[in-house]
Structure 1
Amino acid sequence: MTDLQNNSSAKLSDFDVNLFRAGTHYHVYNKLGSHITEVDGQRGTYFSVWAPNAKDVTVVGNFNGWNRTENPLTVRGDGSGIWEGFIAGLGKGEYYKYFITSHSGHQVEKGDPYAVHWETPPHTASVVWDLEYEWKDSEWLSNRKSGSPLEKPISVYEVHIGSWRRAHEEEGRFLTYRELAAELPEYCKYMGFSHVEFMPIMEHPFYGSWGYQLTGYFAPSSRFGTPQDFMFLVDALHQAGIGVILDWVPSHFPTDEHGLGYFDGTHLYEHADPRKGFHPDWKSFIFNYGRNEVKAFLISNAIYWLDKFHIDALRVDAVASMLYLDYSRNEGEWIPNQYGGRENLEAIDFLKEFNTAVHQYFPDVFTVAEESTAWPGVTQLPQNGGLGFDMKWMMGWMHDTLSYFQKEPVYRSHHQGQLAFSTHYAFSEKFTLPLSHDEVVYGKHSMINKMPGDHWQQFANLRALYGYMFGHPGAKLLFMGADFAQRHEWRHDFSLDWDENLNPSHNGIQLLLKDLNEFYASQPALYEKNFSWEGFEWIDNQDSTNSVFSWIRKGNNPEDDLIFVANFTPVVRTNYRIGVPKPGYYQEVFNTDNQKYGGSDLLELKEQESYPIPKHSRVHSIPLRIPGLAVVVLKYAKGFDWL
């Protein structure tokens, strides 16, 4: 082992160490871990690892026959607990781990917490690698800086990389990142989605965890290729005009021996007390957010994906589990905070700091919280007492909406308020409407199989649900497979059933989603005031007898306003009168009952004339024919010549 001289850019300076110990080194991934570099004219790899309670640390790997004594690291003399060293001649592609001996005599081989590449599971070694890549998405990044992302239409396609498509000719093997790059961007562009959201792609030992049990926080999973291969996929999506959102999991991590748990013979990354440090639901460790070096690890990890991989947004998983000390715990199984409360004060501060740092370095990206409670101020700025997220998943809307649509239409009249309730709090936060992977697994049924009725009614119900979703305030998110009404629940070990799309009913759903995305992007009323009461107004949500709802979506220009009318029974409503904002003619501009979507084609091709007949507290109204199980959208066409 050669001493690392100051002429290596990979070497940690005293300033780096001080920032790391303060928890504010948000680019520490450039220093800790393994870095190919040059020292005194010799090419090799610099290693550094935080293990403050270790007695000895050595680097073991295929290059030294996994010899536990041949390549020792040296602990810095500044009390940081960082071990470091340089191995000349060691380059890209070498497998390695850290062999750590604690003062208590505990010995273990650990993967590198900051490794940018890992062996393909079930193998568990880290891999020396670089992140060199020639990006071609400069136009995308430049355009990303123009305006707030929340002022644009956001329609997200949630994807699990291992099961979107598979290679049929090779017994269903995974597609690589590069193979996905040849298909996924083109499909998303065709469908009109603005973003892809990848379920966690960071390295994880158990494929069945869907990526939510991470060991390699800084490495795209090698199941699908190298870091550069994943960069190529992101690059291809950007060149197709598609943004990329990553699921990010700072809430917990698995107990696998090669991972972060009990890293240096002590509970370094997690709390020692299982009442704070062990998650009862997921059988995993919980990060110690009060330890500065752990905060630096996590926040620098978030910055890393935005920096090195040009990611456009982070969706933070399981935020509720972070905020509450008693989350999923019974009395006596948790420790109150210093004030006797159930709030995790350290996690709250961490989330605020995470969002502040992300927006400081990347003001043109956004963050989204999966937070399932009524925690106040999730999307408020930290300086105003909030957590600082840009958006939050609207879990209440999802539960109420799916509960309503799973009811037979004959019973929906008794649940009118269930569907209308979401607008009572729709603008308390900035919301994303999620129909995610969680809703199509574990016996919950696929989206199409949630719908009641015969074959035609099932598809009509699903068309109406999607029409209602796109008319409701908030960003949109739909999980793969729901875009063509896959019958099976999602199965992570198999490809989606793409052959179902050859069926006209399924293809009709796909065409509907494509047109809804295009309609969404073309109508300012659907996104300019997506997160404000100014952009929404009920016409009538009280007609429980007919299970009909009507409302207005508004943009900056009143000429852009849209009227939505939804009929959630299979009965066609004729001469159904709704109040309108002003007199004149109204044109039907969208109808989920269109024959090309599989509907009965009860379209209104003529402009509808308003009459001075008061309705819904409005002076003028128009009579409509509303198809069964359908959503129609109207737009003001012109006024009367004599006005």
Structure 2
Amino acid sequence: MRAPALSALDIHLFQEGTHSRLHDKLGAHALPAGGVRFAVWAPNAAQVRVIGDWNFWAEGDAMTPRTDGSGIWEADCPQAAPGQAYKYRIVTPSGELLEKADPFAFQSELAPATASRIWAGTHTWADDAWMRARATRNALDAPMAIYEVHAGSWQRENGEFLGYRELAHRLAHYVKDLGFTHVELMPVTEHPFYGSWGYQTTGYFAPTARYGNPEDLMYFVDHLHQQGIGVILDWVPSHFPTDPHGLARFDGTHLYEHADPRQGFHPEWNSAIFNYGRHEVRSFLLSSALYWLDRFHIDGLRVDAVASMLYLDYARGPGQWIPNAHGGRENLEAVHFLQALNRAVYREQPGAFTVAEESTAWPRVSRPTEMGGLGFGMKWNMGWMHDTLRYLREAPVHRRWHHHQLTFSLVYAFTENFVLPLSHDEVVHGKGSLIHKMAGDAWQQFANLRALFGFMWAHPGKKLLFMGGEFGQRREWTHDGELEWWVTGLPGHRGLQQLMRRLNRVLTEEPALHAFDFGPEGFEWIEADDAERSVFAFLRKGPPGTAPILAVSNFTPVPRENHRVGVPLAGAWQELINTDAGEFDGAGWGNLGGARTVPVPSHGRAHSLVLTLPPLSTIYLKGPTRATNA
């Protein structure tokens, strides 16, 4: 007599909502003696059969419901084998016939086909050195410059997608050359509509077949790790598409989603919303998250659309949502799930991390659950992004009236562990490219963008930049095609790329620019109120024994000579970055490599530097080594 796929403990954890390894039990698993065991959750089905290549998609193999009330159906299929396609044929309580992909499938057919595939592949990992050190590489005090990538449109070969393996080599070489520390992949979980960019997921355990099989994606992660590059995956537990082969009405009932459309249907995205109050659904999502971190060695999960999960009235008007048990708009079940998710990730995958894309002022998103927080490691700073881009759109002559759009982020900078994102969301849907958001003529647009990158890389918080921004692609991003690589040899574009190399190198080498990204001890304003000249000056400070970095930005096209800036330490200050330097295709104004203090008080400090501030620029000057963190 065969052993059941799930033990009594598995069923208990599944029904408790705490099982984080359901992928070891449900889905299709090759048996040692041959054949495949299938297990699927369909508690309201009248009948379930497995249909596939081995039984010619005809009557199929009958599945047997467990007698423990779990709603799980099981079957051993001796003729089934890895590589074959399959679906579940489900008869609903009303007699309707559904054909569903496996929610726990590890591989899918190539879209537009929708069947699941039996996968039993392996990968021999060679990233031991990275995995041993990743807790340090991914720590909150480590340098982090993230390159956000859409796998299908970064580069192509004769108009065709690159596979995971070829992409691994090209992307790792490029990212390493520019000095980024991590790559963030827009979702490569299986999705039926390519134009959703992966954010309408049907395969929560399957990499999209557009670029290869699961071993190929493992190779991708392995290769990047061997090159010293971390990998972050966008993961979407907020909603899912209603395609007939997917999770929606899986057994003829609203199994994964809420039945009431005021809770279970997303009006903005025409998709279904998970029922976070159902224990089995929480186990499904927990298992998906841990699967990518465990089996694929993913370093971090960027959780998409967290705000849509937290608020019951998100994208809804009066009467279109149901208050919680206390009459409020907070989705308490989603809060509970997110806290459980983050506890599980940090407990079971040391060195991995989570990032929330959360666009509201929800408190303590990146604070421990023990403090009432959601437990994320970091949170995207959407406010910084909106304020900064609004400021740079203004003509320089008007920026004096908008000065504190750039200082406001420091009012709340240390309330969360923030990532500063210039992401794909800002270069689509008619928003234009990053460089086209900059005010002025072509020269000013490049100068503004260089100054912005300098300001951003000095600002507290980890950095994220969407592909193409690093060389000033002028065309708005489109998923149908590749980046405008041909422009990288042109003046302006080439200089931006060279500046990114330098910024990432300095970010990595200078502890002052990353060690205290999330604490006030690493930041000090020198000049925050010079609206008339649109000048900003601040210090970044590292641990004792390291040198501070002075960052000064001039967001007007007027060079400012003999500009005095007070500093806390006397001596020579070395110019590390000048975004107007000739090597970055700037005009070449600067300070001849640095400046030495004079004993003239300024900005409340006993010593000062007399600087030349180039037009539309940011400069960094490295000060003397500090004995303390004062």
**Under a length normalisation based on structure 2, what TM-score does the superposition of the two structures give?**
0.98
Return the letter of the residue paired with 1:22.
E
Give the C-alpha shift of residue 106 in structure 1. 2.1
> Structure 1: any 5+ residue segments left out of the alignment?
none
CA distance in 1, matches of 2:423, 2:384: 12
SS in 1 for 2:341: helix
Q: Which range is displaced more, 432-441 or 19-28?
A: 19-28
Partner residue, 2:427: 440
Aligned residue number for residue 38 of structure 2: 47
Deviates more, 1:223-232 or 1:56-65: 56-65
The answer as to 2:602 corresponding to 1:615 is: yes
Corresponding position of 1:565: 552
Matched, 1:105 2:95: yes
Counterpart-to-counterpart distance in 1, 2:200 and 2:121:
24
Aligned counterpart in structure 2 of residue 115 of structure 1, from 105, 108, 131: 105
Does the C-alpha gap of structure 1 residues 301 and 525 become closer, same or farther in structure 2, counting only changes over 3 Å? same
| Pairing of 1:60-99 with structure 2 (within 5 A) | 60-67=51-58, 69-99=59-89
Are the equivalent residues in 2 in contact too, given 1:593–1:627 (CA < 8 A)? yes
Aligned letter for 1:43?
G
- Classify the secondary structure of the residue corresponding to 2:408: helix
| Alpha-carbon distance in 2 for matches of 1:21, 1:633 | 56
Aligned CA distance change for structure 1 residues 544 and 21 (closer, same or farther; 3 Å): same
Measured in 1, the distance between the counterparts of 2:128 and 2:139 equals: 17
Q: 2:535 aligns with which of 548, 556, 565?
A: 548
- Which amino acid counterpart does residue 127 of structure 2 have in structure 1? D
The one-character-per-residue Cα deviations of 1:456-503 (angstroms, maximum 9, x if unpaired) are 111000000000000100000000010111010001010111011011
Alignment of 1:114-513 (within 5 A): 114-146=104-136, 149-168=139-158, 172-513=159-500
Counterpart position of 2:524: 537
Structure-1 separation of matches of 2:544 and 2:625: 15
Deviations along 1:310-346, one digit per CA (max 9) or x if unpaired, are 0000000000000000001000000000000000000
Contact 1:131 1:308 in 2 (8 A): no
**2-structure distance, mates of 1:89, 1:263:** 26
Match of 1:29 among 3, 7, 23: 23
Contact kept, 8 Å, 2:548 with 2:625, in 1: the verdict is no
Counterpart in the other structure of 2:8: 14
Q: Distance in 1 between matches of 2:624 and 2:238?
A: 51
Name the aligned partner's letter for residue 31 of structure 1.
Answer: K
Asked if 2 retains the 8 angstrom alpha-carbon contact of 1:559 and 1:636, the reply is no
- Aligned partners of 2:37, 2:8: CA distance in 1, in Å? 17
Cα distance change of structure 1 residues 391 and 606 upon mapping to structure 2, 3 Å threshold: closer
Query: After superposition, what is the alpha-carbon deviation per residue over 1:525-578, rounded to whole angstroms, capped at 9, x for unaligned?
Result: 011111000000000111111000000000002641111110000100011111
Aligned to 2:233, the other structure's residue is in SS state strand
Does structure 2 conserve the Cα–Cα contact (< 8 Å) formed by 1:305 and 1:311?
Answer: yes
What amino acid sits opposite 2:72 in the alignment?
I
Quote how far apart the aligned CAs of 1:182 are. Answer: 2.0
- The residue type paired with residue 20 of structure 1 is F
1:53 and 1:264 in contact (8 A); partners too: yes
Q: More deviation in 608-617 or 298-307?
A: 608-617
- Would the aligned equivalents of 2:511 and 2:546 in 1 still touch at CA under 8 Å? no
CA contact (8 A) 2:182 2:232 kept: yes
Change over 3 Å in CA distance of 1:558–1:564 after alignment to 2 = farther
| Distance change >3 Å, CA 530–CA 218, structure 1 → 2 | same
> What is the one-letter code of the residue matched to 1:102?
T
Separation of aligned partners in 2, 1:62 and 1:91 = 9
Structure 1 residue runs of 4 or more that deviate by more than 6 Å after TM superposition? none
Distance 1:476 1:47, change over 3 A: same
> TM-score normalised to the size of structure 1?
0.96
Q: Given that residues 107 and 213 in structure 2 are in contact (C-alpha distance below 8 angstroms), is that contact kept between their aligned partners in structure 1? A: yes
CA 95–483 in structure 1, closer or farther in 2 if over 3 Å, else same = same
Aligned length: 626
